[in-house]
Amino acid sequence: MAETALQRPIEVKDVRKRRIFLLDMIVRLFKEKPMGAVGFVIIVLLALTAIFADLQWLGFAPPEEGGPGLAPYGWNQLFLLDRLSPPSAQFLLGTDNLGRDMLSRIVYGSRISITVALGAQAISVVVKLLIAVPSGYFGGKYDIVLQRFVDAWICFPALALYLTVMAVLGAGMWQVIAVLGISGGISQTRVIRSAVIRIREEVYFEAARAIGVPGWRIITRHVIPNIMAVVIISVATGMGMVILAESTLSFLGLGIPPPYPSWGGMLSSSGRRFMTLAPWMMVWPGVALSLVVFAFNMLADALRDLIDPRLRGGLGKYSLSLEKLREIAKKKSDELKTELEKAEQAQEGDNLRV
Amino acid sequence: MRAYLIRRILLIIPTLFLVTVIVFMLVRFIPGDVLDLMLAEWMTEGSSDIQDIEDLRAALGLDVSLPVQYGRWLGIVPSQTGEFSGMLQGNLGHSLWDNEPVSDIFRARLPVSIELGILSMLIGWTIALPIGVLMATRQDSLADYSGRTFAIVMLSIPGFWLMTMVIVYPSIWWGAMPNIIYVPITENLWENLKQFLLPACLTGVASSALMIRLTRTMMLEVLRQDYIRTAWSKGLSERTVLTRHAVKNAFIPVITVIGAQIPVVLAGQIIGRAFLDALNQRDYPIISAINTMIATAVLIMNVVVDIAYAWMDPRIRYS
């Protein structure tokens, strides 16, 4: 008996053009989302500022001793004779009440902002996945119990919670990262959980279950890759939020303690006390902070539009046109038709032979 | 629907229980005992009648084990005097420092908080709703882009920085000094409103950013629906399509968000100074009471919002 078309193993050809996801995203960002690209550029500049604030990590001398780097002076280098001096050629953004160069402190502050944002988001992703994936995947009692904890956690206003926990842990950068990461992670689990629940309804999930794929494999191969879009978006939006939260905590004296040059901390007591005498102490850290958070928010917005097709404006000018879709559909159905006809003819031939 | 409602209300109970446990335990972990702080302060003040620290501990009710303290605070374990007086009996506790009832602290601050909260929400939504609708109907136009940029800028500027700048610098440059003595609304309505206008405008404009984005997203979603296309194809005017068909549907989720915002907005005003002071002084009852009150309000409001959602939109069926 001849093989029918339906029995023949199906040849699978990967016709998609393989491209690196990240590179693809950046190219599309610049082509389609100019404002997002602006945000991206600012963030790259921020990262470069943080990396090249000084070159001590390459073995060069610190700025205090005239080493190379973007920061003209050390972040805690005192010029006691030049306290509260206005912006000048020597101190481009002026000095603070202890005679420290504002520009150097702001440049070094970028290190703190980046570290806090990256650290907190890394923790937050782990927390989110650890809570939301099992909760959505297993459901039932496990889900109900876990969700009560999440409910209890998120009904506190974020700031009150952060302040209380920071009071428990004491001020410091690692504490800030831990608090913002864990707390932010818990409060965003709902989005991830509902994404997981949506995947449970999908056919491929059913299929994987039906052919007996073990649970951990379903989670790692089917669930997690498919919720990545949601995770990436939540990380992108989280970055700006974390930087703002850190600065608020430092401003209230429960974040990163002085003398470390956190932008929020610079706005705190000394910045406020001298704001009439030395406005540059109040203005520049705030400008730096706003600019960076703005950049992250712009990038997050653009990324969300690029990644999540449901949020895109219909069949926008950058997605496939209807004609193209119809063309593809017609080609597919034609192929299928000829295949079926062949199969039928083969079947008939078989019947005749019998 | 009724079954759903009962389930939702019943589910509040375990959540609320967890909330009280978290609130109660968390503050006890704050390093630095309140008694040490008190003794240190009396030492510096030079008061001669420093009591025995154990007596003080007993007087404040901090001498028993944590579960008993928790039970007393909640009102399910009798206190030293043998009566039940805790959260469940409506007793929010007393400040450890000056024995002031926490409810008095609330009563003193709540009128200001509520008025400021309501005013800023009113201002915020008055700005946000028309702008959001306009942006959605003119998607990808100049108005849309500038609105979106404005919203993101407002979301990015730290509130504490902007508020300080906007309030302090003009008063220096123009010598304008706001009246900082609180005038109750019952005494002089106009004076009172004048006092609240600036802070309410600032917080209102700042908070309108989120609302603009929300309104825009909801409107965009509705404008893509089939019934909007039907309305257009019937030849209705843009005005009718927007007001009768689009806005009505888009505002249902928006209204529920307004509802959910109310306790958070109020909380934001209350926790300000009182909360920070209480934290610094380790005044456990005040911290716990503020946190519990806010959390309870949020929980209840969430259920109310869910019910309101179903009531306004008959398509929604809970099960």
What are the pLDDT tens digits along chain A (354 aa)?
455 555 655 555 555 555 567 787 788 888 888 888 999 999 999 999 999 888 888 888 887 777 788 888 888 888 888 888 888 888 888 888 888 888 999 999 999 999 999 999 999 999 999 998 988 888 888 888 888 888 888 777 777 788 888 888 888 889 999 999 998 889 888 888 888 888 888 888 889 989 989 988 999 888 888 888 888 888 888 899 999 999 988 888 888 888 888 898 888 877 777 877 888 888 899 999 999 999 999 998 888 878 765 544 333 333 344 556 666 677 777 777 777 777 666 665 554 444
Residues whose CB is less than 8 angstroms from the CB of residue B250 and which lie 6 or more positions away in sequence, other chains included: B133, B136, B215, B218, B219, B221, B222
Q: For residues B76 and B85, what is the distance between their CA atoms, to the nearest angstrom? A: 8
ipTM of this predicted complex? 0.78
Virtual torsion, Cα A29, A33, A36, A37, nearest 10 deg: 60
> Residue A180: which of A246, A260, A114, A234 has the closest Cα?
A246
3-state secondary structure of B315: coil
Contacts of residue B169 in chain A, CB cutoff 8 Å?
279
B88's tokens:
């469940």
What is the reported pLDDT for A10?
A: 57
Virtual torsion, Cα A172, A178, A184, A186, nearest 10 deg: -150
Virtual torsion, Cα A136, A137, A142, A148, nearest 10 deg: -10
Q: What is the DSSP string of A200-222?
A: HTSHHHHHHHHTT--HHHHIIII
3-state secondary structure of A317: coil
Residues whose CB is less than 8 angstroms from the CB of residue B179 and which lie 6 or more positions away in sequence, other chains included: B191, B194, B195
Contacts of residue A289 in chain B, CB cutoff 8 Å?
158, 161
Of A160, A240, A283, the CB nearest to B271: A160
Q: For residues A136 and A150, what is the distance between their CA atoms, to the nearest angstrom? A: 13
Nearest CA in chain A to B220: A313
CB A2 within 8 A of CB A349: yes
Of B160, B168, B279, the CB nearest to A248: B160
Q: What is the DSSP string of B40-81?
A: HHHHHHT-S-PPPHHHHHHHTT-SS-HHHHHHHHHTSS--TT
pLDDT band at B55 (very low <50, low <70, confident <90, very high): confident
How far apart, in Å, are the Cα atoms of B224 and each of A132, B136, B150, B218, B227?
31, 11, 25, 10, 9
CB B215 within 8 A of CB B133: yes
Angle at B123 between CA B122 and CA B128, to 5 degrees: 100
Q: For residues B285 and B106, what is the distance between their CA atoms, to the nearest angstrom? A: 12
Query: Cα A327 to chain center, whole Å?
Result: 37
Q: For residues B215 and A37, what is the distance between their CA atoms, to the nearest angstrom? A: 25
pTM: 0.79
CB contact A229 to B (< 8 Å): no
Of A167, A244, A313, the CB nearest to B139: A313
Torsion sign, CA atoms A157, A158, A163, A166 = positive
* pLDDT (mean) for B62-68: 79
Amino acid at A318: Y
**Residue pointed to by tokens 């994987």:** A208
Residue A76 dihedral angles phi and psi, to the nearest 5°? -125, 25
Q: What is the mean pLDDT of chain B?
A: 80
Residues 219-238 of B with CB under 8 A from A: 220, 224
Contacts of residue A168 in chain B, CB cutoff 8 Å?
26, 29-31
3-state secondary structure of B117: helix
The answer to whether residue B213 scores a pLDDT higher than 70 is: yes
Mutation target vs A (from B28, B33, B160; most A CBs, 10 A cutoff): B160
Percent of chain B's residues with pLDDT above 90: 2
First and final C-alpha spacing in chain B: 6
Of B155, B165, B287, the CB nearest to A164: B287
